[in-house]
Amino acid sequence: MVGPPLAALHHSATLSAVNVAPVRSSECQARVSFSLESQLSLLSGSTSARSNVAPKDHRLQQQQQQRVFASSARTAATGPVVATLASENEAAKPSVKPANSGDSRLAKVPIERIRNFSIIAHIDHGKSTLADKLLETTGTVQAREMKEQFLDNMDLERERGITIKLQAARMRHVSRVDGKAYCLNLIDTPGHVDFSYEVSRSLAACEGALLVVDASQGVEAQTLANVYLAIEGNLEIIPVLNKIDLPGADPERVRAEVEEVVGLDASDAILCSAKEGIGIDDILESIIAKVPPPAPTRDQPLRCLIFDSYYDPYRGVIVYFRVVDGEVRKGDSVRFMASGKQYEVDELGVLSPTQMQVECLYAGEVGYLAASIRQVADARVGDTITHAGGAGKGGPPAKESLPGYREAVPMVFCGLFPIDADQFPSLREALEKLQLNDAALQFEPESSSAMGFGFRCGFLGLLHMDVVQERLEREYGLDLITTAPSVVYRVLKRDGTVVECSNPSEMPDASIRTEIQEPYVRMDILSPKDYIGTLMELSQERRGEFVEMKYVTEARTTLSYDMPLGEVVGDFFDQLKSRTKGYASMEYKVIGYRKSNLVKMDIQLNGEAVEPLSAIVHQEKAYGVGRALTQKLKELIPRQMFKIPIQACVGTKVIASETIAAIRKDVLAKCYGGDISRKKKLLKKQAAGKKRMKALGRVEVPQDAFMAVLRLEKESL
CATH number of residue 529's parent domain? 3.30.70.240
Q: How confident is the model over 171-194, as a mean pLDDT?
A: 79
Looking at 35, 67, 92, the residue that finishes a domain is: 92
Share of the chain above pLDDT 90, in %: 4
Smallest Cα–Cα separation from 350: which of 342, 333, 341, 362?
Answer: 362
Structural domain contains residue 703: yes
The pLDDT, as a whole number, for residue 560 is 92
Structural domain contains residue 297: no
Same domain, 66 and 145: no
Tell me the three state secondary structure of residue 352.
Answer: coil
Instruction: List pLDDT tens digits, range 592-622.
Output: 899 888 888 888 887 777 777 788 888 888 8
Cα dihedral 484/466/632/605 (nearest 10): -40
| Separation CA 513–CA 205 (nearest Å) | 45
Same domain, 324 and 353: yes
Looking at 268, 290, 312, the residue that finishes a domain is: 290
The pLDDT, as a whole number, for residue 712 is 64
Sequence-distant (6+) residues with CB within 8 A of 707 are: 481
Structural domain contains residue 400: no
Same domain, 185 and 44: no
Q: How confident is the model over 218-246, as a mean pLDDT?
A: 83
Query: Residue 52 pLDDT > 70, yes or no?
Result: no
Q: For 4-13, which contacts have Cβ atoms below 8 Å and span 24 or more sequence positions? A: 5/65, 5/69, 6/43, 6/44, 6/47, 8/69, 8/72, 9/39, 9/40, 9/43, 9/68, 9/69, 9/72, 10/40, 12/72, 12/73, 12/75, 12/76, 12/79, 13/39, 13/40, 13/72, 13/75
Same domain, 143 and 241: yes
What is the average pLDDT score of the chain? 74
Cα dihedral 331/335/336/338 (nearest 10): 180
Count the domains in the chain.
Answer: 6
562 pLDDT band (50/70/90 cuts)? very high
Same domain, 113 and 82: no
Same domain, 195 and 259: yes
The pTM (predicted TM-score) of the whole model is: 0.63
* Chain centroid, CA 645 distance in Å: 46
Same domain, 256 and 112: yes
82 pLDDT band (50/70/90 cuts)? very low
51 pLDDT band (50/70/90 cuts)? very low
* Chain centroid, CA 648 distance in Å: 40
Tell me the three state secondary structure of residue 171.
Answer: strand
Cβ-based burial of 275 (10 A; exposed 0-12, middle 13-18, buried ≥19): middle
Share of the chain above pLDDT 70, in %: 72
388 pLDDT band (50/70/90 cuts)? confident
Q: Note down the domain range covering 633.
A: 600-716
Structural domain contains residue 99: no
Same domain, 606 and 683: yes
Cβ-based burial of 32 (10 A; exposed 0-12, middle 13-18, buried ≥19): middle
Same domain, 509 and 588: yes
Structural domain contains residue 651: yes
Beta strand 114-121 pairing with 181-188: parallel
In this structure, what CATH number is given to the domain that contains residue 352? Answer: 2.40.30.10
Same domain, 558 and 614: no
Least reliable range by pLDDT among 43-57, 234-248, 312-326, 540-554: 43-57
Structural domain contains residue 517: yes
Structural domain contains residue 135: yes
Looking at 576, 596, 616, the residue that finishes a domain is: 596
Structural domain contains residue 74: yes
Q: Is the model more confident about 519 or about 485?
A: 519
